[in-house]
């Protein structure tokens, strides 16, 4: 888009604007910045972009798109030691792949080094900056603490001439690293520590990936960032909250830059303003380039694009679509509150998108041979199988080969099943998807006693799955033909960390890596039709999840599939299973699941996939619709959760049965939507070995602080596997939280004692270290300490000792 086409306009919808968009809208209305909107996404090329960055990308580029403004892609490359051209290329790829375009507005901070240098000289000659010769430690001491003002450095009143001379010699390379820095002369008594003469330049004899050895002094963020924005006439400079205290410095720099009509001066009407929003973080993952880098460099993952990484490159290789990431960013939104999103939200966005576009195919993960003893030897049929269920408006089908020898998944057979088991067992019938009803007569074992084959018969009358005699078949399973299916490897990915907040365990987040985050299944079998599909096709393997070919490792003759996401949260699970279990002859009731996110902007919907015209609201009965509204309005349930729960009668009933008064409805809803599905596999709610009140009991244990959230998940996993009583499981597994103050006091004291240096730093104002201390106590109690109490005790302990 060229500048002349850029016609800023108000957002098309004035409702529902997040607070940043509301600011932009108000500026447009008032004509601030001459009615221009220019944002920028400013990554530092020292790593790959991650899912947190995606929020910032979508916000900055989104605002520009929606208002007809501009968004620049600018590399904030002022730190030569960690930056690399490889990261620049990767970031460019990722932003493009996410679907955004910066036209010719690609910039590099390093291109402004000369101008920045001139501006620094300008500040010096106005008496607003000075060369400091104290070392880092001394600077810190002189700066004071939150409770004491700073003291002026002995070098603060150097003459302008001396400052200019020293600064020029710094540039010329006359001094070693650390000998001097340039500082702004601001306010040593300011309660805002950032205003106490921030450092603007430092000496670093290091080669820069773009400017080579041209420079041995480099500007710091506080100086560089406002200049970059001002040079580019950015209007809204959006960053994350940790820069809130830097804002006065930002404004001061912008105010004090030389103005004029031609460079190096800053354009007179360029007045960028900084706005902060809270970082978007994701549970069960780390969103810090530094930590992601450790995982890569120390070989915990196969690279930045390992499909378990929540980098954009990792998600992309896993098979996640850019549409889902944009929808996810929309779903978590923009706010001022620290935001940690359950990974379920990302998975929800991914499923929701793939559901609309992924053809359904059959794949058997762990094959068990089935011989149909009454099927004619040598006969092969081609069964017609549609790619999509009825509620997805895409046509198309393929033929499935069917013959005497088939494979089914081992999990779909049980020799001695409970009454609720709906799949194959000795003497029982099951329907083969798109095929026939079969009955198992005999189990064949090898010498080691392992089941190697089932001998079954098929019912010739049931082709396509219908039962002309009207008998009820309870289950439908997937299968492939033994002779014509293709062997493949299937990689099942799970979350990379076993705890929801690996970041809290500062320094040791790697202890919490999930050893089962990748399970590679060799010898799976997939239906042959996939060989004809384009390599980038995303599939739903029926009953198993969404998959695609690994773009690096899959070959025509050695297929490798990645699981993008498991099939469903419980609601969708019930819906899909209902569809699978329904005989095709039966009329299709619309269990239609369209785009679920409640607040999708019209703009985004247009680019969200093949069903652009589909209604946003899934059709549902008036009764369910009413329940949904009641859940939100009367019970305080989240929009998204209410939406999902009322997609199906079953789940709405389950939810309501869980409203026993023990746990708040909102919490019950969150657990129904985000926690319960995790271990349910393809089971239905009514197959669970526990009822809704028991489930609600787990939620209330967490809600009441008796156990932690992750302990709650453990209890649920246990209950799904083998039923049982939540209170009993908590005791048996020793999951009860430690809330006893005396015990925790001791632990807290011990941890503080063993980390005197960190305790001192904390008292000097590094309040962020509290997380470290909490993490230490949590580790010592294997996650069982009550974090709220620990936090309180730590705060009073650390401060009391000061
Ligand atoms: P990291 O801590 O992962 O290195 P960063 O902030 O140092 O992140 P930058 O390359 O400086 O990484 O980030 C580019 C932009 O993305 C910045 O504007 C930053 O504020 C934003 N950003 C980074 N992480 C997040 C996040 N988790 N949520 C939202 N925005 C983020
Ligand atoms: Mg940064």
Q: What are the tens digits of pLDDT across the range 751-778?
A: 888 888 888 888 887 777 887 888 888 8
pLDDT of 227 reads 98
Pair 643, 596: CB distance under 8 Å: yes
Ligand 2 centroid from CA 267, angstroms = 26
Determine which of 465-479, 484-498, 712-726 has the lowest per-residue pLDDT on average.
712-726
Q: Does 117 score more than 80 pLDDT?
A: yes
**What average pLDDT does range 384-404 have in this prediction?**
94
Residue 73 CB less than 6 A away from ligand 1:
no
The model's confidence at residue 199, banded by pLDDT at 50, 70 and 90, is very high
Q: Is the CB of 55 under 6 A from ligand 1?
A: yes
Our answer on whether the CB atom of 786 is closer than 6 Å to any ligand 1 atom is: no
Q: Which atom of ligand 1 is nearest to the CA of 288?
A: 3
Work out the pLDDT band at 123, boundaries 50, 70, 90: very high
* Residue 289 annotated in active site: yes
**Per-residue pLDDT at 13:** 62
User: Taking 50 as the threshold, does the pLDDT of residue 600 lie above it?
Assistant: no
Pocket test for ligand 1, best of 41, 47, 51, 52 (most atoms within 8 A of CB): 52
Task: Please tell me the predicted confidence (pLDDT) of residue 15.
Answer: 60
Q: Which of 20, 40, 54, 56 to mutate to test the pocket of ligand 1 (most atoms within 8 A of CB)?
A: 56
Question: Which atom of ligand 1 is least distant from the CA of 240?
Answer: 20
User: How many angstroms separate the CA atoms of 387 and 100, rounded?
Assistant: 31
CB distance 289 to ligand 1 below 6 Å: yes
| Alpha carbons within 13 A on the beta-carbon side of 670 | 19
pLDDT tens profile 490-530: 999 988 998 888 877 666 788 889 988 999 999 999 999 99
Q: Is 52 in the pocket of ligand 1 (CB under 6 A)?
A: yes
Among 74, 289, 495, 628, the one annotated catalytic: 289
pLDDT given for residue 340 in this prediction = 79
* pLDDT at 589 > cutoff 80: no
- The Cα 715–Cα 725 span in angstroms is 9
The reported pLDDT for the residue numbered 504 is 76
Of all protein residues, the one whose alpha carbon is nearest to atom 15 of ligand 1 is: 43
CB 56 near ligand 1, within 6 Å: yes
Residue whose entry in the numeric block shows the structure tokens 């690609």: 106
Above 50 in pLDDT, residue 422?
Answer: yes
Q: Cα(202) to centroid of ligand 1, in Å?
A: 23
The backbone torsions φ and ψ at residue 269, rounded to the nearest 5 degrees and listed phi first, read -95, 15
Of the listed ligands, the closest to the CA of 56 is 1
Helices (H) and strands (E) in the chain, counts: 25, 27
Q: Residue 172 is inside which H or E element, if any? A: helix 160-172
pLDDT for the residue 800 = 66
Question: What are residue 458's DSSP bridge partners?
Answer: 438
The Å distance, Cα 43 to ligand 2 centre, comes to: 7
Catalytic residue among 40, 158, 279, 433: 279
Which atom of ligand 1 approaches the CA of 280 most closely? 28
The finding on whether 44 has its CB within 6 A of some atom of ligand 1 is yes
Across 207-221, 436-450, 555-569, least confident range: 555-569
| pLDDT score recorded for residue 769 | 81
Average pLDDT along the chain: 88
pTM: 0.72
SS3 category, 13: coil
Q: Which residue's C-alpha comes closest to atom 16 of ligand 1?
A: 53
Q: How far is CA 383 from CA 334, 400, 433, 482, in A?
A: 49, 5, 10, 15
- The pLDDT score that the predictor gives to residue 78 is 98
Query: 10 Å Cβ neighbour count for 80?
Result: 21
Q: Does residue 279's CB lie within 6 angstroms of at least one atom of ligand 1?
A: yes
């Amino acid at each position: 888009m060229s500048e002349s086409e850029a016609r800023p306009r108000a957002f098309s919808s004035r409702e529902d604007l997040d607070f940043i968009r509301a600011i932009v809208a108000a500026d447009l209305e008032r004509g601030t910045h001459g009615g221009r909107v220019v944002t920028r996404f400013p990554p530092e090329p020292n790593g790959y972009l991650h899912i947190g960055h995606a929020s910032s990308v979508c916000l900055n580029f989104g605002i520009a798109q929606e208002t007809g403004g501009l968004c620049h892609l600018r590399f904030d490359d002022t730190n030569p030691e960690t930056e690399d051209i490889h990261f620049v290329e990767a970031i460019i790829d990722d932003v493009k792949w996410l679907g955004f375009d910066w036209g010719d507005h690609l910039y590099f901070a390093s291109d402004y080094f000369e101008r920045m240098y001139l501006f620094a000289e300008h500040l010096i000659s106005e008496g607003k900056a000075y060369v400091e010769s104290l070392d880092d430690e001394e600077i810190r001491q002189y700066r004071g603490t939150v409770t004491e003002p700073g003291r002026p450095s002995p070098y603060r009143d150097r003459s302008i001439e001396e400052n200019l001379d020293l600064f020029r010699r710094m540039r010329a390379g006359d001094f070693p690293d650390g000998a001097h820095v340039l500082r702004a002369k601001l306010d040593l008594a300011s309660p805002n520590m950032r205003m106490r003469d921030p450092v603007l330049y430092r000496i670093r004899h290091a080669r820069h990936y773009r400017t080579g050895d041209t420079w041995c002094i480099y500007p710091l963020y506080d100086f560089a960032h406002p200049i970059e924005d001002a040079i580019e006439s950015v209007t809204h400079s959006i960053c994350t909250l940790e820069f809130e205290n830097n804002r006065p410095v930002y404004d001061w720099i912008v105010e004090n830059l030389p103005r004029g009509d031609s460079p190096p001066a800053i354009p007179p009407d360029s007045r960028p303003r900084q706005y902060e929003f809270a970082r978007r973080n994701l549970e069960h993952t780390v969103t810090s380039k530094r930590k992601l880098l450790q995982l890569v460099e120390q070989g915990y993952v196969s690279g930045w694009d390992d499909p378990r990484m929540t980098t954009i490159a990792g998600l992309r290789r896993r098979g996640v679509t850019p549409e889902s990431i944009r929808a996810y960013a929309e779903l978590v939104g923009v706010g001022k509150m620290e935001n940690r999103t359950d990974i379920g939200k990302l998975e929800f966005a991914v499923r929701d998108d793939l559901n609309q576009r992924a053809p359904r195919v059959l794949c058997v993960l762990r094959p068990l041979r089935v011989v149909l003893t009454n099927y004619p030897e040598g006969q092969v049929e081609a069964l017609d199988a549609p790619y999509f269920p009825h509620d997805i408006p895409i046509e198309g089908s393929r033929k499935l080969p069917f013959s005497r020898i088939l494979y089914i998944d081992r999990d779909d057979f049980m020799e001695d099943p409970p009454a609720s088991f709906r799949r194959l067992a000795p003497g029982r019938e099951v329907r083969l998807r798109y095929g026939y009803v079969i009955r198992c007569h005999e189990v064949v074992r090898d010498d080691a006693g392992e089941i190697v084959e089932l001998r079954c018969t098929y019912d010739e009358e049931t082709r396509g799955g219908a039962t002309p005699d009207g008998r009820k078949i309870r289950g439908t399973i997937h299968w492939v033909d033994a002779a014509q299916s293709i062997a493949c490897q299937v990689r099942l990915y799970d979350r990379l960390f076993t705890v929801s907040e690996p970041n809290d365990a500062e320094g040791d987040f790697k202890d919490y890596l999930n050893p089962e985050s990748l399970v590679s299944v060799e010898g799976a079998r997939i239906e042959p039709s996939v060989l004809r599909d384009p390599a980038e096709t995303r599939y739903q393997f029926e009953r198993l999840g969404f998959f695609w070919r690994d773009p690096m490792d899959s070959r025509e003759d050695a297929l490798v599939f990645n699981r993008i996401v498991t099939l469903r949260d419980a609601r969708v699970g019930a819906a899909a299973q209902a569809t699978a279990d329904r005989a095709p002859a039966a009329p299709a009731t619309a269990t239609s699941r369209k785009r679920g996110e409640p607040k999708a902007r019209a703009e985004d919907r247009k680019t969200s996939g093949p069903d652009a015209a589909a209604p946003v609201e899934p059709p549902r009965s008036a009764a369910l619709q009413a329940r949904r509204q009641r859940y939100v309005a009367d019970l305080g349930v989240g929009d998204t959760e209410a939406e999902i729960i009322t997609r199906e009668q079953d789940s709405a009933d389950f939810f309501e049965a869980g409203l026993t008064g023990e746990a708040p409805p909102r919490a019950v809803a969150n657990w129904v939507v985000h926690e319960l599905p995790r271990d349910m596999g393809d089971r239905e709610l009514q197959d669970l070995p526990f009822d809704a009140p028991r489930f609600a009991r787990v939620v209330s244990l967490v809600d009441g602080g008796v156990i932690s959230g992750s302990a709650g998940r453990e209890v649920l996993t246990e209950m799904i596997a083998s039923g049982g009583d939540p209170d009993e499981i908590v005791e048996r597994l020793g999951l009860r939280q430690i809330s006893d103050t005396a015990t925790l006091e001791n632990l807290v004291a011990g941890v503080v004692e063993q980390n005197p240096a960190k305790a001192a730093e904390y008292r000097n104002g590094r309040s962020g270290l509290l997380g470290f201390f909490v993490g230490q106590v949590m580790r010592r109690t294997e996650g069982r300490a009550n974090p709220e109490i620990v936090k309180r005790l730590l705060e009073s302990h650390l401060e009391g000792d000061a």
